[in-house]
């Protein structure tokens, strides 16, 4: 049997538009869901700390070897600088005027009486003499005549001058004071040695016949008489303080004799 399909009714001729509010529907659906019931809070679990681990062994402390000392560097000195030029010498100053010449001093007066007394005293000590005489001969010249016990006769001429100066053929009368070792001058008649330490008096190397000297030690230091290559007969070296002697050179004997 043939069934005839029903003819669909055309509903699109006058369609009606329907608006669906999906947001409202979803919101109402969510509100319709019953609120969940919150369960009670569970007890806090225990916090158990694990045991501390074992301490590891201390590592070895190994010090590295000392480094090798480096070589000493060369010390190089710089070249010496050039010498500066010599400065120019200044001009010579002007010489001042010569001062006035002082007045001439008075001539020295020779005390012949004192000299005669001194010579007589010393000549009297000479036991080889039988007699002697002292005469003044013009100016400041003295003539000493010696008569020896063996019959010899000797005449000596000396020229006197005072002060420290000496001249050719003259003899200094005033004693010369010395404080250090000294050489006896042929023209100096008398010496006073005055030293705190030991000193030496050296006689002339080439004395003349009949030359004589008076030597006295007034210091605390000892005084030694040195013959300067010639014998000094009768001397008792060294001379102590306040000891003195008279020395005469004998050309016949060739040495000094203590009078």
Going from the first residue of the chain to its last (259 residues), give the mean pLDDT of each consecutive group of 10, the final group possibly shorter.
Answer: 52 56 73 67 73 79 79 79 80 76 52 67 75 70 81 75 43 76 82 93 88 87 93 88 87 86
Whether 56 maps to a domain, the answer reads no
**Omega within 30 of 0 (cis) for the link into 178:** no
Per the rule left: phi > 0, alpha: psi between -120 and 50, beta: everything else, 234 is left
19 is a domain residue:
no
Distance CA 180, CA 188 (A): 16
CA distance linking residue 44 with residue 244, whole number of Å = 137
Q: Which of 172, 204, 220 is the last residue of a domain?
A: 172
Which of residues 142, 172, 202 is at a domain's end? 172
Q: What is the pLDDT of residue 169?
A: 44
- Note the pLDDT of residue 199: 94
Q: What is the structure's pLDDT at 185?
A: 82
Percent of the chain with pLDDT over 90: 13
Element (H, E) at 29: helix 22-32
**Residues 183 and 259 grouped into a single domain:** yes
215, 200 Cβ separation under 8 angstroms: no
Q: Is the domain of 251 the same as that of 198?
A: yes
What pLDDT was estimated at residue 106? Answer: 46
DSSP category for residue 206: S
Residues 199 and 222 both lie in one domain: yes
Residues 115 and 166 in one domain: yes
Domain range for 257 is 175-259
Task: Let me know whether 244 and 203 are in one domain.
Answer: yes
Residues 181 and 246 in one domain: yes
Q: Are residues 256 and 186 in the same domain?
A: yes
Between CA 202 and CA 214 the distance in angstroms is 13
User: How many structural domains comprise the chain?
Assistant: 2
CA 146 to chain centre: 62
Residue ending a domain, choose from 172, 198, 223: 172
d(CA 201, CA 182): 5
Q: Where do the H-state alpha helices sit in 126-207?
A: none
How do strand 170-172 and strand 153-161 relate by DSSP bridges? parallel
DSSP state at residue 149? T
* Residues 6+ positions from 116 with CB-CB distance below 8 Å: 134
């Amino acid at each position: 049997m043939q069934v005839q399909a029903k003819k669909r009714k055309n509903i699109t001729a006058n369609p009606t538009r329907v608006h669906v509010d999906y947001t409202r529907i979803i919101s109402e659906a969510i509100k319709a869901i019953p609120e969940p019931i919150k369960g009670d809070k569970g007890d806090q679990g225990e916090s158990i700390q694990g045991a501390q681990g074992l301490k590891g062994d201390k590592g070895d402390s190994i010090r590295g070897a000392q480094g090798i000392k480096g070589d000493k560097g060369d010390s190089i000195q710089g070249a010496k600088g050039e010498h500066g030029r010599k400065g120019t010498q200044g001009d010579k100053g002007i010489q001042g005027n010569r001062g006035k010449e002082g007045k001439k001093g008075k001539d020295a007066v020779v005390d012949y009486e004192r000299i005669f007394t001194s010579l007589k005293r010393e000549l009297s000590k000479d036991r080889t003499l039988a007699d002697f005489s002292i005469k003044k001969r013009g100016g400041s010249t003295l003539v000493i005549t010696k008569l020896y016990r063996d019959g010899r006769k000797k005449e000596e001429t000396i020229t006197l001058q005072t002060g420290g100066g000496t001249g050719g053929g003259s003899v200094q009368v005033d004693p010369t004071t010395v404080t250090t070792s000294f050489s006896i001058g042929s023209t100096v008649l008398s010496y006073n040695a005055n030293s705190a330490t030991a000193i030496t008096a050296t006689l002339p190397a080439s004395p003349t016949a009949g030359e004589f000297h008076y030597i006295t030690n007034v210091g605390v230091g000892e005084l030694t008489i040195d013959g300067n290559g010639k014998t000094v007969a009768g001397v008792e070296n060294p001379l102590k303080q306040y000891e003195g002697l008279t020395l005469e050179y004998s050309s016949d004997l060739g040495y000094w004799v203590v009078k």
